[in-house]
A and B are shown apart, each in its own frame.
Chain A
């Protein structure tokens, strides 16, 4: 939607959607927490407004408020929402229902949870037609088939009869898009329409929305946390911070010279703009044996081949990245390296020791040397443990139960040191995971990995659940720790920008195989393989990269 292109339908005067002085609050206990404060914007026909902001900035709340579908404890505190000059906030429920889906429709966030799991996807699209048109069953079915063709399905009758679990994430999102455009709305609210999708699928879905918008002159409010997507796909960008619209500017202008400090900070945090010295060129002279040496590694789950003959070498002190889309086998590879799952065949040498044939028990002494940081620290922490117990866990598991009492003080000191290394104060010792923010939790996870003084740390999507500014902080922390301690990182990621920022070597995986590997600058600069080129092409935020 790189769009200075004017809408082809001929510009109608006046905005399609205008939001004036909107404030929204949530009832929390006895008080009210204001989530959106005095937000105003206008949207002309065919325009795309990207609302960007970090979690809790109120961007989704605005989307819900426009549709007047706030959660039960949400309330409009002030301001108006107008559609084609007519105030729609506060209309009776019946009239609002006529507008929803027909005048203003929604492309929801999570394609998996946004479809009813036990209804055929065709009849879920049919809902819109049933609610808003007088067509009979026959005509509606034909119309749904047309819509499915429009969103790029081929065997439309078979698709009509399928259930959500039979479709991939990208296909589910297409179904939801078909439903959103079924009644030819003038405004589409796209609430994080591609989060959780692979990069190439994300690009396809965004292209589709873009294409439909061009054809019909529909205006789009694109709610996203991804500044890259916003920069590539919008005419206007609105930056939200703590419920306030701190900047509203044409996209090109915003990318070139943001006026607000916070906007500038956000833009500078984007991984595409992060710069760590001497990365990517395959530096890191090796000393001693290779940290990780994998030869012809295979892993089968039943008949399914997850990892299909993978070989690579990681030198000590470098960051080796494994990139790929979901199902490419990259996480399975990480799990084998850390001894969490056994390999089916192949050889794994860690720090010169062959671990391929080791039993779980024989692997134990190595566990202190190889640690892992998971994507979602919330799920990998015991919710009843405090930070001290969480971080001390790797220490205690190596200590005999009898000496546990004697070692308590020493453990505590080591935990405090590890927390400090992860830039957390010792006052965090007795907090519980749920009291921490996402970034703090990820720091605790890093402290837990560091506490046993490992030499290799496997980072499984370490920043993909984090807001962009927090992401930048964690990446800087990881970079610093590696330089100070000579750590070896194996980074598993789907985000090429993150990989480019902190890796030295990279391997691209697809269908369980490595299709290309080498120094980051070479692989990303002159990809030898078509698939790598596709991945690079699907990267969002090309508008943002400054190098």
Chain B
């Protein structure tokens, strides 16, 4: 198991580097930058001399490759650079904002998973076929409505009409519910769709029929047969959904006027604040990579076939030696690996 995780970690680092480099390339390819904007601003009345000094200070007069090498070198020493618009360090900016966003996305993820599970189960087991059809059409609806609309609808309904939750961030937990619900509904849509499809597919499997032939009722079949099999694709989907969660927090934080990574991203992009954007990309990529790493680790824990594949690949032996009637299959797992 350990070499598998190590390999995934190396892959994760490579993904981080690629994301960083790609943003760097994209952002330097765009015309202008925060400093040039400031120098060229007619209100700012800087002499060309001052302008050059400023550019030299931020290293913007050097060739792109050198800038890139410097940035990468600093990054390896844990230094994300300085914001071009506010002058404070990028790490402190992000460090202040990160907890807000983490709490928000964590709650959003929880809501999303709960809503998706409820929708998936209800959409598959509700008593009338019309009700099931109605429930199954909900994910498509939720996926088609942009999250800022959902956010505004929630604001309008729960804050302004029902007055259940505060409309702006007053620091209470209750203020979190609105934006978290917005995020949750957004990611619940694909999850519920995948979950429903997986439940339907699993229930058609012969082993479910066999379980029923042993006298199991619907409830027993779901708990012991369907649930785990149907969660496998959902876990894969979850990794992708977290990516949307990060993107969604930008919009949600704007709608609900909350501090966080989303707000910072919005400002940084507006002012072409390259180091901050780089920092944001780095943080969100890290989150994304970590969650997918987690999904990769959970997957073999649930599915013994993947576990066997990993072990077989490590042992570098073909798993297809043909077993006879009652002799052990050569690709058998050692017992301690099964127990893990």
B243 at the interface (CB under 8 A from A): no
In the bound complex, what is the Cα–Cα distance between A131 and B213 (angstroms)?
A: 11
B228 at the interface (CB under 8 A from A): yes
Interface stretch of the complex, out of B67-75, B185-193, B264-272, B326-334: B326-334
B168 at the interface (CB under 8 A from A): no
- CB neighbours (8 Å) of A174 from chain B are 326
- Partner pick for B215 among A101, A167, A327, CB 8 A cutoff: A101
In the bound complex, do residue B308 and residue A304 qualify as a contact, i.e. CB atoms below 8 Å apart? no
In the bound complex, do residue A302 and residue B318 qualify as a contact, i.e. CB atoms below 8 Å apart? yes
B287 at the interface (CB under 8 A from A): no
In the bound complex, do residue B206 and residue A167 qualify as a contact, i.e. CB atoms below 8 Å apart? no
Cβ proximity bits A152-178 to B, threshold 8 Å, 1 near / 0 not: 111100100111011110110010100
Contact residues of B between 293 and 337, Cβ < 8 Å to A = 302-305, 308, 316-318, 320-326, 328-329, 331-333, 335
Q: Least Cβ distance of A145 to chain B in Å?
A: 16
Given contacts A69-B209, A117-B305, contact A166 B329 (CB under 8 A): yes
Contact residues of A between 326 and 360, Cβ < 8 Å to B = 326-328
Interface stretch of the complex, out of A91-99, A242-250, A314-322, A515-523: A91-99
Cβ proximity bits B201-233 to A, threshold 8 Å, 1 near / 0 not: 000011101111111110010001100110010
A12 at the interface (CB under 8 A from B): no
Interface stretch of the complex, out of A45-53, A107-115, A218-226: A107-115
Given contacts A131-B214, A161-B338, contact A304 B320 (CB under 8 A): yes
Contact residues of A between 94 and 152, Cβ < 8 Å to B = 94, 97-102, 105-106, 108-110, 113-119, 127-128, 131-132, 152
In the bound complex, what is the Cα–Cα distance between A161 and B335 (angstroms)?
A: 9
In the bound complex, do residue B304 and residue A163 qualify as a contact, i.e. CB atoms below 8 Å apart? yes
- CB neighbours (8 Å) of A117 from chain B are 207, 229, 303-305
- CB neighbours (8 Å) of A97 from chain B are 215-217
- Partner pick for A114 among B207, B229, B305, B318, CB 8 A cutoff: B207
Given contacts A163-B305, A165-B304, A201-B325, contact A69 B213 (CB under 8 A): yes
In the bound complex, do residue B209 and residue A127 qualify as a contact, i.e. CB atoms below 8 Å apart? no
In the bound complex, what is the Cα–Cα distance between A301 and B206 (angstroms)?
A: 32
Residue of A nearest to B212 (CB): A69
Q: Least Cβ distance of A221 to chain B in Å?
A: 13
- CB neighbours (8 Å) of A166 from chain B are 308, 329, 331-333
Residue of A nearest to B338 (CB): A161
Q: Least Cβ distance of A415 to chain B in Å?
A: 38
In the bound complex, what is the Cα–Cα distance between A102 and B213 (angstroms)?
A: 10
In the bound complex, do residue B325 and residue A204 qualify as a contact, i.e. CB atoms below 8 Å apart? yes
Given contacts A118-B229, A131-B220, A163-B304, contact A170 B325 (CB under 8 A): yes
- CB neighbours (8 Å) of A40 from chain B are none
Given contacts A114-B206, A163-B304, A301-B318, contact A106 B325 (CB under 8 A): no
Q: Least Cβ distance of A4 to chain B in Å?
A: 29
- Partner pick for B305 among A101, A106, A118, CB 8 A cutoff: A118
In the bound complex, do residue B325 and residue A200 qualify as a contact, i.e. CB atoms below 8 Å apart? yes
In the bound complex, what is the Cα–Cα distance between A302 and B333 (angstroms)?
A: 20
- CB neighbours (8 Å) of A170 from chain B are 325-326
In the bound complex, do residue A100 and residue B332 qualify as a contact, i.e. CB atoms below 8 Å apart? no
In the bound complex, do residue A115 and residue B214 qualify as a contact, i.e. CB atoms below 8 Å apart? no
- CB neighbours (8 Å) of A204 from chain B are 325
A472 at the interface (CB under 8 A from B): no
Residue of A nearest to B216 (CB): A131
Contact residues of A between 291 and 327, Cβ < 8 Å to B = 301-304, 325-327
Candidate in B214, B318, B326 with the most chain A CB atoms within 10 angstroms? B214
A43 at the interface (CB under 8 A from B): no
A67 at the interface (CB under 8 A from B): yes
- CB neighbours (8 Å) of A301 from chain B are 318, 320
- CB neighbours (8 Å) of A511 from chain B are 322
In the bound complex, do residue B322 and residue A176 qualify as a contact, i.e. CB atoms below 8 Å apart? no
A179 at the interface (CB under 8 A from B): yes
- Partner pick for B210 among A108, A118, A162, A165, CB 8 A cutoff: A108
In the bound complex, what is the Cα–Cα distance between A511 and B322 (angstroms)?
A: 8
In the bound complex, what is the Cα–Cα distance between A116 and B226 (angstroms)?
A: 9
In the bound complex, what is the Cα–Cα distance between A519 and B229 (angstroms)?
A: 51
In the bound complex, do residue B212 and residue A127 qualify as a contact, i.e. CB atoms below 8 Å apart? no
- CB neighbours (8 Å) of B304 from chain A are 117-118, 163, 165
In the bound complex, what is the Cα–Cα distance between A165 and B333 (angstroms)?
A: 11
In the bound complex, what is the Cα–Cα distance between A488 and B324 (angstroms)?
A: 33
Residue of A nearest to B333 (CB): A166
Given contacts A165-B305, A166-B333, A168-B324, contact A110 B213 (CB under 8 A): no
- CB neighbours (8 Å) of A115 from chain B are 207, 210
Residue of A nearest to B207 (CB): A116
- Partner pick for A303 among B224, B308, B317, B324, CB 8 A cutoff: B317
In the bound complex, what is the Cα–Cα distance between A53 and B281 (angstroms)?
A: 65
- Partner pick for B321 among A99, A101, A105, A304, CB 8 A cutoff: A304
Q: Least Cβ distance of A538 to chain B in Å?
A: 11
In the bound complex, what is the Cα–Cα distance between A204 and B302 (angstroms)?
A: 33
Contact residues of A between 161 and 210, Cβ < 8 Å to B = 161-163, 165-168, 170-171, 174, 176, 179, 200-201, 204
In the bound complex, do residue B214 and residue A93 qualify as a contact, i.e. CB atoms below 8 Å apart? no
Residue of B nearest to A125 (CB): B214
In the bound complex, do residue A127 and residue B224 qualify as a contact, i.e. CB atoms below 8 Å apart? yes
In the bound complex, what is the Cα–Cα distance between A115 and B209 (angstroms)?
A: 10
- CB neighbours (8 Å) of B318 from chain A are 301-304
Residue of B nearest to A128 (CB): B214
- CB neighbours (8 Å) of B323 from chain A are 167-168, 171
In the bound complex, what is the Cα–Cα distance between A98 and B214 (angstroms)?
A: 9
In the bound complex, do residue A154 and residue B326 qualify as a contact, i.e. CB atoms below 8 Å apart? yes
In the bound complex, do residue A131 and residue B329 qualify as a contact, i.e. CB atoms below 8 Å apart? no
In the bound complex, do residue B326 and residue A171 qualify as a contact, i.e. CB atoms below 8 Å apart? yes
- CB neighbours (8 Å) of B325 from chain A are 168, 170-171, 200-201, 204
Q: Least Cβ distance of A96 to chain B in Å?
A: 8
Candidate in A109, A118, A132 with the most chain B CB atoms within 10 angstroms? A118
In the bound complex, what is the Cα–Cα distance between A161 and B228 (angstroms)?
A: 18
In the bound complex, do residue B332 and residue A113 qualify as a contact, i.e. CB atoms below 8 Å apart? no
In the bound complex, what is the Cα–Cα distance between A97 and B308 (angstroms)?
A: 35
In the bound complex, do residue B333 and residue A127 qualify as a contact, i.e. CB atoms below 8 Å apart? no
Candidate in B211, B228, B316 with the most chain A CB atoms within 10 angstroms? B211
Candidate in A102, A105, A116 with the most chain B CB atoms within 10 angstroms? A116
In the bound complex, do residue A100 and residue B305 qualify as a contact, i.e. CB atoms below 8 Å apart? no
- Partner pick for B224 among A119, A171, A179, CB 8 A cutoff: A119
Q: Would you give 8 A-B contacts (Cβ < 8 Å), ordered by A?
A: A94-B217, A97-B215, A113-B207, A115-B210, A127-B211, A131-B216, A158-B335, A303-B318
In addition to A69-B209, A166-B331, 20 A-B residue pairs with Cβ atoms within 8 Å of each other are A69-B212, A97-B215, A101-B213, A116-B229, A117-B207, A118-B228, A119-B224, A127-B211, A131-B215, A131-B216, A162-B332, A163-B305, A166-B329, A166-B333, A174-B326, A201-B325, A301-B318, A303-B317, A327-B322, A328-B322
B interface residue numbers (CB < 8 A to A)? 205-207, 209-217, 220, 224-225, 228-229, 232, 302-305, 308, 316-318, 320-326, 328-329, 331-333, 335, 338
Report, nearest first, the 8 A-B pairs whose CB atoms are least far apart: A327-B322, A101-B215, A101-B214, A168-B323, A106-B213, A304-B318, A100-B215, A113-B206
